Each structure stands twice: as C-alpha cells, then as structure tokens.
C-alpha cells in the first residue's frame, strides 16, 4: 500500500464549494464557469499583421499544405486550423477585405454557393445532425482574424458538446486535419 499523505488529506478537506444561490447578488438559474485564462486573449488579442494574413497566404500553397478543400473564382474553402469540431470549414474571399459589406456581389454569391456545397459535402461525409454557420465581423465581435472576411461552417452532432475544452483546454478531434481535408475534397463535386 502507498504511504499516507496527511498534508494532502488536510489540503483536500480545505476545498470549499459555494452554492451560487448563497453568494452576493441576485440568485438566478445560471451556473457560471469562470475562465480567467481567457483574459490574455481578451486584452491582447491575436490579430496578425496584414502582411502575415493566413487567409491571403493559404491560396499560395498546395491544397494539402494550405488545408484547402475547394477553390472557386472569388473565394475558397479551407479547414479551420483550430477547429471546434472535425470538419470545421472556413469560406474566404481571395481579396483581403474585413467585412461582408465590402464584398462584391460576385464574392457574396460564391461565398453562399460554396457554403451550401460545403454543407452538403460535410453531411455526406460526416453524417452530422446540424450546423453552426456564421461570420464574426471585427475583433470586438470575436473574429480571430478580423482583417480578412471568413465564414465558419461547423458541423454538429447530437450530444457533441462537453466540458473538455473549457476545463482541460483540450479538444478531442477524432480525425487528423489532413485526413478530414482529403475526405471532404474527394467528396466535393467537380
């Protein structure tokens, strides 16, 4: 048997969990998970310099190296390097523009068409149950790369949410990015 650690046992007995209903303020039905480690991102952000824009750089690479699934005339589709779920795609115009209202009618039409095709392909390949689709416009709205317009397409499955990303700063992704890119690109209509 292992040695008894009296100090660890005493420290464990000092742990206190307070019911939110008994803390200061007006009690409500919300549970709160405090994430102070995010303050570094909130205060400093992670916006690249314009000459380092990953969405301008990716199209100059091979599809495999740039994680590009499909290329259009005005926009292209690539995997998110830091996906929320397997198959998390981004649709980006080639032009370096920041917001949707700066896009030309041709770019808007192609972003929409590529989004629809991406949904069909993801559903065929991944058998997901739904999608989150959206654009964060500006740094204050949560855009990780605010200077280059991009639309997120996140496949969702019943019961796919869990606390692992929040508690352990870890996201369990069952497929490697290269494998996901290959399967989506192979299923993309010619």
| CB count in 10 Å sphere of residue 10 | 9
Q: Is 37 a catalytic residue?
A: no
> Following CA atoms 24, 29, 31, 34 in sequence, which dihedral angle do they give, to the nearest 10 degrees?
-50
Phi, psi dihedrals of residue 132, rounded to the nearest 5°? -110, 125
Phi, psi dihedrals of residue 130, rounded to the nearest 5°? -175, -175
| CB count in 10 Å sphere of residue 146 | 20
Spell out the alpha helix ranges (H) of 19-95: 39-44, 54-57, 63-66
Which residues touch 171 (CB under 8 Å, ≥6 apart)? 83, 84, 164, 165
Question: Which candidate, 134, 117, 141, 124, places its Cα nearest to that of 190?
Answer: 117
Spell out the alpha helix ranges (H) of 14-149: 39-44, 54-57, 63-66, 105-126
Q: Which of 148, 150, 152, 159 is catalytic?
A: 150
Residues labelled catalytic:
150
């Amino acid at each position: 048997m292992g040695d008894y650690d009296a100090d660890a046992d005493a420290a464990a007995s000092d742990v206190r969990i307070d019911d939110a209903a008994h803390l200061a303020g007006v009690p409500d039905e919300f549970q709160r998970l405090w994430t102070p480690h995010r303050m570094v991102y909130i205060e400093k952000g992670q916006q690249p310099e314009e000459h380092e824009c990953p969405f301008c750089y990716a199209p100059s690479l091979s599809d495999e190296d740039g994680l590009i699934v499909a290329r259009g005339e005005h926009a292209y589709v690539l995997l998110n390097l830091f996906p929320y779920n397997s198959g998390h795609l981004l649709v980006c115009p080639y032009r370096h523009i920041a917001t949707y209202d700066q896009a030309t009618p041709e770019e808007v039409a192609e972003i929409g068409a590529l989004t629809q095709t991406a949904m069909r392909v993801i559903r065929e390949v991944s058998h997901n149950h739904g999608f989150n689709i959206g654009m964060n416009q500006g740094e204050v709205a949560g855009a990780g790369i605010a200077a280059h317009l991009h639309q997120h397409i996140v496949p969702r499955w019943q019961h796919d949410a869990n606390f692992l990303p929040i508690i352990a700063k870890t996201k369990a992704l069952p497929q490697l990015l290269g494998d996901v890119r290959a399967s989506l690109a192979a299923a993309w209509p010619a």
